[in-house]
Amino acid sequence: MKGYLVSMLLFCIACGSAPKQKAIEILEKGTKDGSVIVRVQAAEGLARVGRTQYMGMLYTIIEDGDRVGMAAALTSLCELQVKTYSPIVVSLTEHTDPLIRTEAYRLISVMDDDRCRDVLIKGAYDALAKIRMISYDGLEKFQDKDAIFDGLRDVDPLVRIAAAQALGRMGEQEMKDFVHNEMNGEENDVWCHSVIALAEMGDTSVIPDIRSRLFSAPWGVRLAAVEALLIMKIHDGVLVLHEALQSDDPFAREHAVNILKKYEISETTQLLKGVVYDEYINVSVAAIEALVQYGTKEEQRLFAELMEAPNPLVQIAAAAAYLQGE
């Protein structure tokens, strides 16, 4: 009897360790893949589960000079919320490629270092509106209201809204009226950014307008409305997320999954489990990453199953998710 119990114990230990070992092997193998995107994702996955030496690999990829690899590695470091100052990243704010420059600024905006303030002030005058938006957002942590107020006069309405949003989070109550004035136009992007900004400022007066667009607008507007309500802890738009996850539009599915990565909504768990098999890899990977936050044994079994997926990026996402749930 004692021998039987020992055998069963060893069997259970082996079953438990097998998926974990497989996950590690998938990620380590991925760091040697011929595709730089696969290498970046594998390194990010290993860094995410505590193997911080793989962040060094991401910096090495940045130094290699491959455009796709540089942008992907910068994005991964930002996803990892790396806050350590990096002269290499700062130098890339001068890069001629707009994608690399944008991702460099995005990473600098999360760094905790006073030297980043001057870099972000420079970014506030970049030719790309996206970089100006990122810069004003990043300047918030330095409480540099004077620099951010300059953004209210920008030629691009989305930049003006981003500056007002940062000031609103810093307690400037008049920014609510400023954003309301900006959103009077008919451009969908302006409305979407405006309602997110107002939701962050706790402006409940915008709720009726948000609710009126939940079910009768393009997907981008509907999903921005859902997120704005979720920011205010209102779940009226959960049904819209259900519809988006089941829609024929891959961009709507991806947008919905990315919202679910930010907000834990138990009612959508089963739908997310179906989306992990989506034909569009971005949707599948984002769904796996969204499910990590639930952390039950059922999700772990799903991640173990997805480690057998044909696409290496899905395998890597599943392996990283499995190890995060350990």
User: For 279-288, what is the mean pLDDT?
Assistant: 95
pLDDT at 297: 80
The pLDDT value given to residue 272: 87
The pTM for the full model equals 0.88
pLDDT value at residue 17: 66
Assigned CATH for 237-326: 1.25.10.10
Q: Which residues contact 263 (CB under 8 A, 6 or more apart)?
A: 227, 230
Instruction: Kindly indicate the confidence band of residue 14, based on its pLDDT and cuts at 50, 70 and 90.
Output: very low
Contact 48, 58 (CB under 8 A): no
Alpha carbons 133 and 158: distance in angstroms, whole number:
7
d(CA 62, CA 70): 4
Convert the pLDDT of each residue in 183-210 to its tens digit. Answer: 986 678 999 999 999 999 999 999 999 9
Residue 5 pLDDT > 70: no
Average pLDDT value over all residues in the chain = 91
**Sequence spans of domains, the chain:** 237-326
Query: How many CA within 13 A on the CB side of residue 130?
Result: 10
- The answer on pLDDT for 166 being more than 90 is yes
pLDDT over 90 (residue 30): yes
Position 256 pLDDT exceeds 60: yes
Which residues make Cβ contacts (< 8 Å) with residue 49, sequence separation at least 6? 320, 323, 324, 326
What pLDDT does residue 186 have?
Answer: 65
pLDDT at 91: 96
Per-residue model confidence (pLDDT) at position 13: 42
What does 171-233 look like in DSSP terms, one character per residue? Answer: T-TTHHHHHHHHTTSS-HHHHHHHHHHHHHTT-GGGHHHHHHTSSSS-HHHHHHHHHHHHHTT
Least confident stretch, 10-24, 232-246, 247-261: 10-24
Q: Give which of 48, 37, 78 is closest to 320, Cα–Cα.
A: 48
Least confident of 157-171, 244-258, 263-277: 263-277
Q: Which of 59-73, 117-131, 229-243, 258-272 has the lowest mean pLDDT?
A: 258-272
Q: What is the pLDDT of residues 34-43, one digit of tens each?
A: 999 999 999 9
Only one residue has tokens 């990096």, namely: 86
Question: Rounded to an integer, what distance in angstroms lies between the CA atom of residue 27 and that of residue 39?
Answer: 9
